[in-house]
Amino acid sequence: MLGYLKLEVLRILRDGGYLMMNLVSPLTMYLVFTNIDLGGQGHRDAAIYSMVGMAAWGAVGAVLTNGVAIAEDKALGWIRQLRLLPLHPMQVVTARTLCAMIVAVPPIAGVCLAGGLVNGVSLSAGQWTAIGLLLWVGVAPIAALGLGIGYLFSPTKAQAVGMIGYMGLSLLGGLWVPVAKLPRWAADVAPITPINRYGELSWRIAYGHAPLPAGVGVLTAWFAAFAVLAVAAYRWSSRRA
Amino acid sequence: MKNAVSFTGVTKRYGAVQAVAGLSLDIPTGQTIALLGPNGAGKSTTIGMLLGLLPPDEGRVEVLGGTPEQAVRSGRIGAMPQEGRPIPRVSVRELVGFVRGTYPRPLPLAEILETARIADLADRRVDALSGGQSQRLRFAIALAGDPELMVLDEPTAALDVESRRELWASVRAYAARDRTVLFCTHYLDEADAFADRIVVIGDGRVLADGTPEEIKSRVAGRTVSVDVPGSLAFLQGLPGVVVSEVHGGRARLTTTDSDATVIALARAGAIRNLEVAGAGLEEAFLALTADPERVA
């Protein structure tokens, strides 16, 4: 499994343009967003809110595009070749999830650094550490979802499905604007969606609260569901006459 | 001798299409066997089931004494699936090194690269390889784990003559170590030259099974050739003829009863520059797949 992780990480690290793209778009969004006055909340709260939101948005985008790229590997016959090696599907999916999560590191680090250095977000060392870790670990369910999409669909379809999932779940997740400002039905649905609970982990820490058990529960349940989907999709993807 | 592979009454259906229809086949350890058949004959489905990628609807597939999945998971199979293209951003050495690492008892890296004739390309990015080179890399991947059974699905498709020759030299070097090799091919001369045994598949069943010589003699096939200056009408309904082709004013008839065919040609007054020859593998193959009932 480590060998597979190493190989896929190597392939990602050699794709500098792709890594940059994952860093630049959330960072730009963050800096632009936070320097126009959206009004409403106090400036400090708003800066923290959008820092976490944009870091999460960048992380989600990174893992989803990374998962969707699997569809291209699949078209090359690479997934089928992997299936014919003595590797357990669970090992492949675990390694590939970790690999997608590595791509999430630059946007998380970049946006948090910009928050602290440029926008003057001040948090305790413990809060910074916790937020950094939770933003990273908490993106695992979305990484698994991205894998599932990549294994299931053709490259163009995977891209479309990934994009719809990305935009829809990010909006419901409150990554751009707080869920309270969304229509009533959306605000009601949001708490059972994965990205909302993902962002919530770090927002709560930033505002000095402990994560909600219900939030952790919902996120864990999504992780389990998406991991099962990813393993099944991996196995299914090589079924071709 | 123990069987490396055993299919017993295997069927596989996709909707209304019966891809494999009651296939039974035993492959003893150490044999090099060619699966031969036209497109849609069920070869790829058969390979898919052999590798555990597809579950059979009925029947049993046993590989190296267990299920296909067990054989793959324990690293006893090496496979070169059809139509693989290289993934970007890794070198030959990295890719083969990774594949080796997944197997319990792999061959040394240098030996793999040597056997597959890609030692000089070790540091090349795999997406910068030519068609023939990348095919040899795919063979190296199949070879890396020193598997007991190697499965090659049309390994030389779309390769030029020189690349085909080199790839077969590599396969031969591997098979010489008493390993079992199963390959699919469209090229009859490859089956003839490299297989100990040929299994002809059509409509999801075994149509013929034997050494290349046996397959050729199995159909008492002959070719009858005559000049056809004018109308082709007399070619209709000739007895024994399974395939007829006309090229450059000459008809080449593959027949299972050359006597009857020649007599009928004589009655039609069509004997012009007559030639009767023993059929090669190609004619045998065409005869077998055109009229399966004859040899069933």
Sort out which chain A residues have CB atoms less than 8 A from B19's CB and list them: 241
Burial B49-78 (b: 16+ CB within 10 A, else e): bbbbbbebeebebbbbeeebeebbbebbbb
A153-165 pLDDT, tens digit each: 999 999 999 999 9
Question: Secondary structure of B78-96 in the HEC alphabet?
Answer: EEECCCCCCCCCCEHHHHH
In this complex, which of B44, B89, B99 lies closest to A241 when CB atoms are compared?
A: B44
pLDDT score at A241:
40
Burial class of residue B262 in the structure, from the number of CB atoms within 10 Å of its CB (0-12 exposed, 13-18 middle, 19+ buried): buried
A15 touches chain B (CB under 8 A): yes
> In sequence order, what are the beta bridge partners of B33?
B182, B197
A6 touches chain B (CB under 8 A): yes
In this complex, which of B51, B72, B85 lies closest to A86 when CB atoms are compared?
A: B72
Question: Secondary structure of A173-204 in the HEC alphabet?
Answer: HCCCCCHHHCCHHHHHHHHHCHHHHHHHHHHH
In the predicted structure, residue A96 carries a pLDDT above the cut 90: yes
Return the closest-CA partner of residue A111 out of A214, A1, A31, A18: A31
Instruction: Mark yes or no for CB contact B98/A240 under 8 Å.
Output: no
pLDDT score at B245:
82
A221 touches chain B (CB under 8 A): no
- Beta strand pairing call for B77-80 and B241-247: unpaired
Contact A192, A218 (CB under 8 A): yes
A236 touches chain B (CB under 8 A): no
Instruction: Mark yes or no for CB contact A77/B44 under 8 Å.
Output: no
Binned average pLDDT, 10 residues per bin, chain B of 296 residues: 91 92 94 89 92 95 96 96 88 97 97 94 95 92 96 87 87 90 86 91 89 74 82 81 83 84 88 81 69 44
Contact B19, B31 (CB under 8 A): no
In the predicted structure, residue A19 carries a pLDDT above the cut 80: yes
A32-54 pLDDT, tens digit each: 878 775 554 557 788 899 999 99
Span A180-194, average pLDDT: 94
Q: Whole domain around residue A33: which residue ranges?
A: 2-237
* 3-class state of residue B53 by DSSP: coil
- Tell me the one-letter amino acid at B72: V
In this complex, which of A7, A14, A84 lies closest to B51 when CB atoms are compared?
A: A84
> What is the interface pTM, i.e. ipTM, of the complex?
0.90
pLDDT score at B12:
95
Question: Could you give all domains of chain B from N- to C-terminal order, each with its CATH number?
Answer: 3-213 (3.40.50.300), 220-278 (3.30.70)
Sort out which chain A residues have CB atoms less than 8 A from B11's CB and list them: none
Residues of B with CB under 8 A from a CB of A: 14, 19, 44-45, 48, 51, 53-54, 72-75, 77, 79, 81-90, 94-95, 97-99, 101-104, 141, 145
Q: What is the mean pLDDT of chain A?
A: 93
Q: What percent of chain A has pLDDT over 70?
A: 96
pLDDT score at B234:
80
Distance CA B160, CA B111 (A): 25
Q: Which residue of B has its CA nearest to A82?
A: B99
pLDDT score at A38:
54
A90 touches chain B (CB under 8 A): no
A118-141 pLDDT, tens digit each: 988 999 999 999 999 999 999 999
Q: How many distinct structural domains can be found in chain A?
A: 1
A85 touches chain B (CB under 8 A): yes
- Write out the two tokens for B285: 């193959």
